[in-house]
Structure 1
Amino acid sequence: MARVGIRDVAVLAEVAVGTVSNYLNHPDRVSSDKAERIRSAIETLGFVPSNAGRQLRLGTSQVIGYLAPDVSNPYFAGIAERVERRADERGVTVFLANSHRSREREDAYLAVFEQHRVKGMLVSSHLPIEDRLAQLRRRGTPSVLVGQRAHTDEQASVSLDDVSGGRQAMRHLLEVGCRRVAFVGGPVGIPQVADRLSGASAEVRSSGPATLEVIDQPDRTVQGGIEVGRALAARPASERPDGIFAVNDLLAIGIMQQLVLAGVTVPREVAIVGYDDNEFAEASLIPLSSVRGRHEGFGVAVVDLLFDAIERREIAEPHRMFDPELVVRASTTGFGVG
């Protein structure tokens, strides 16, 4: 079936095409009689107005793009929900895209955003992407880098202090008595992973006798955690870490699940801390201690900062950094007891 167009509406309403256009864009210019005929024709034909022409005239749409690396991760899904809420308050719609951590998909979606003349972009990536965003900015599409601090003031960003988060997680493990601690996650080329490891390593160095093992696991999912947990459970108890800091909650939950299935007691034998404090952390069979990165103000900050860039306002603080906080639960409480 052919798509109903503005000319079809004009024919049925017995008015000029320009009158239908005025009805859609400047209703105050159309008499009540003609407006009623046009309204009836639109309803009869099922006509759906297109914003494409208006967008081409104005040069932008009323849409912002949000590129996330993995919306199956509750952490990114939570950010998307808060971004949508704030964007709605600002009168724009969010075009959400999922890159699946693929550079090719990132590039493809950024191109789609630009082709659709979005007002601006929110971009979360685990890979270096500022050069690409700079190209888009020079062509007129501003952006905010979400989740990692940008290197230049020309690129606005909103992030977490992951070095502090790593220190908090490792400090807690050491304070409960862990001495053979492990950091699980990767690859360390990802800025967020590198910062969390940096903070954890600094805390071990400054907190007395403890050893730190780094276990590289680039698959930061529950399945990736299960693989690590299976390998750790196969070690003799004396060679197994007694404290584990996983780079996100999904990894931590997978590790904990496999250790418990193998008969390792959590937290008495092994204390575990995750990162992000996603919805599964508290709901886990053994509630997971985690570094909370969820802030109601995060989604508000990224959208508002993007509007500052869109409206070319001077940005006094181009890099907004939020402080994470440790949430202590049963996965670390009671280490060594019993």
Structure 2
Amino acid sequence: MAAGIRDVAAAASVSVGTVSNVLNAPHKVAPATVERVQAAIDKLGFVRNDAARQLKAQRSRCVALIVLDIGNPFFTDVARGAERRAAQSNLTVLFGTSDDDTARERSYIDAFDEQRVYGLLVSPVGDDLTRLRTLQSRGTPVVLVDRDASSTPFSSVAVDDVAGGRLAAEHLCAIGRRRLAFVGGPRSLRQVSDRLRGAQRAVARHEGVSLEVLDTPELSVLAGRDAGDRLRARRPRDRPDAVFCANDLLAIGVLQALVLSGDVRVPDDIALIGYDDIDFARSAVVPLTSIRQPSTQIGTAAVELLEAAANNEEPQHIVYQPELVVRASTTGTSTTAGD
């Protein structure tokens, strides 16, 4: 017969409550006692019945995280930050990627709801938050990630993407570029539309500067490469002299299409700036200027907000300010300290 929690308590000469604390809140127990209980667990081969504990608590120790694309290094870093912070509270993170698909997102939400997760962290595909409102009304806390939710009942952690778009376009104008293009999509994603809106506001402040919009079906390297091919196919005088991409993956794709062909020089002919400042940005064939987001910090803060929501605290909203990181793709040299 499998060992139970009472067997562990007897072997370690402690109470059942102490064993429970070691399993669920080890910070409340003296280190020597934790060590003694853990030794008993290892000796007896005890494995706790998580299903039974979940039924009693009406909540598991698993946090669900749904992102737009786990293949995007930005979201990978967000997940890493969430996972590290969750581990400090004895929580486990379950991951799902919606692939910018509302049906897929809903399927994940339903699955995690059935598992009675501790809470849900989600970067929503669209603006319809009805399913999330229902989930939270039934007692599962929800935190929106990479989305400001100040006008909703949810806590949220995000970056001011309008400010980020403005930073990008202002930088391009400051280095003398006048025919700008924005590459990104779908515009139904709040992050894309906010970054475009910020760029449009900046351009409106500069006389003689234009902003063309090239829509893409997704935020990927391949979509960026296709946009870059379309630009390269134009006559030189019909091309923009600067491109702002909605994320770094798009920018890397555009860079590949322009530079590898040998027809267009970056930044001489076209200056290029991305968004997110993923690790690949600095190691690109032409180091990429980008708008930096504190991705790991976003994941950490999201879990902290979720714990606060689980304790019935009022919704909180954290909005980080983005940072311009200048590299060779706009100026020909890297000028940001530490790069």
Q: Please report the TM-score for the alignment, with normalisation by the length of structure 2.
A: 0.85
User: What is the CA–CA distance in structure 1 between the aligned matches of 2:178 and 2:84, rounded to whole Å?
Assistant: 44
User: What is the CA–CA distance in structure 1 between the aligned matches of 2:160 and 2:280, rounded to whole Å?
Assistant: 22
1:1-338 pair list within 5 angstroms: 8-9=1-2, 20-23=4-7, 28=14, 42-43=44-45, 48-150=47-149, 152-262=151-261, 263-315=263-315, 318-334=316-332
Structure 1 residues 88-97 or 173-182, which shifts more? 88-97
Counterpart for residue 30 of structure 2: none
Using a 3 Å threshold, how does the CA distance of structure 1 residues 183 and 68 change in structure 2: closer, same or farther? Answer: same
Structure 1 residues 283-292 or 296-305, which shifts more? 296-305
User: What is the CA–CA distance in structure 1 between the aligned matches of 2:136 and 2:291, rounded to whole Å?
Assistant: 34
Q: Please report the TM-score for the alignment, with normalisation by the length of structure 1.
A: 0.86
Using a 3 Å threshold, how does the CA distance of structure 1 residues 80 and 308 change in structure 2: closer, same or farther? Answer: same
- Give, as a single letter, the amino acid of the residue that structure 2 aligns with 1:177: G
- Give, as a single letter, the amino acid of the residue that structure 1 aligns with 2:269: E
User: What is the CA–CA distance in structure 2 between the aligned matches of 1:245 and 1:333, rounded to whole Å?
Assistant: 14
User: What is the CA–CA distance in structure 2 between the aligned matches of 1:232 and 1:40, rounded to whole Å?
Assistant: 62
| Structure 1 residue 294: Cα displacement | 2.3
| Structure 1 residue 101: Cα displacement | 2.0
User: What is the CA–CA distance in structure 2 between the aligned matches of 1:160 and 1:77, rounded to whole Å?
Assistant: 16
Using a 3 Å threshold, how does the CA distance of structure 1 residues 219 and 25 change in structure 2: closer, same or farther? Answer: farther
Q: CA RMSD in A?
A: 2.2
Could you report, residue by residue, the CA deviation over 1:145-178 in whole angstroms, capped at 9, with x for unpaired residues? 0011125341111111000000000011111111
| Structure 1 residue 242: Cα displacement | 0.5
How many residues were matched structurally?
308
Using a 3 Å threshold, how does the CA distance of structure 1 residues 233 and 42 change in structure 2: closer, same or farther? Answer: same
Q: Secondary structure at the match of 1:331?
A: helix
- Give, as a single letter, the amino acid of the residue that structure 1 aligns with 2:309: A
Higher gyration radius (CA)? 1
Percent of counterpart pairs with the same letter? 42
Using a 3 Å threshold, how does the CA distance of structure 1 residues 157 and 40 change in structure 2: closer, same or farther? Answer: closer
- Give, as a single letter, the amino acid of the residue that structure 2 aligns with 1:272: L
User: What is the CA–CA distance in structure 2 between the aligned matches of 1:201 and 1:312, rounded to whole Å?
Assistant: 40
Using a 3 Å threshold, how does the CA distance of structure 1 residues 209 and 134 change in structure 2: closer, same or farther? Answer: same
Using a 3 Å threshold, how does the CA distance of structure 1 residues 70 and 24 change in structure 2: closer, same or farther? Answer: farther
User: What is the CA–CA distance in structure 2 between the aligned matches of 1:57 and 1:322, rounded to whole Å?
Assistant: 38
User: What is the CA–CA distance in structure 1 between the aligned matches of 2:112 and 2:42, rounded to whole Å?
Assistant: 35
Could you report, residue by residue, the CA deviation over 1:213-268 in whole angstroms, capped at 9, with x for unpaired residues? 01111221110011011111110000001100000001001011111122201000
User: What is the CA–CA distance in structure 1 between the aligned matches of 2:54 and 2:100, rounded to whole Å?
Assistant: 30
Q: Secondary structure at the match of 1:229?
A: helix
Using a 3 Å threshold, how does the CA distance of structure 1 residues 228 and 39 change in structure 2: closer, same or farther? Answer: closer
Q: Secondary structure at the match of 1:332?
A: helix
User: What is the CA–CA distance in structure 2 between the aligned matches of 1:49 and 1:228, rounded to whole Å?
Assistant: 53
Using a 3 Å threshold, how does the CA distance of structure 1 residues 278 and 40 change in structure 2: closer, same or farther? Answer: closer
Could you report, residue by residue, the CA deviation over 1:96-117 in whole angstroms, capped at 9, with x for unpaired residues? 1222222222112111211111
- Give, as a single letter, the amino acid of the residue that structure 2 aligns with 1:110: I
- Give, as a single letter, the amino acid of the residue that structure 2 aligns with 1:304: E
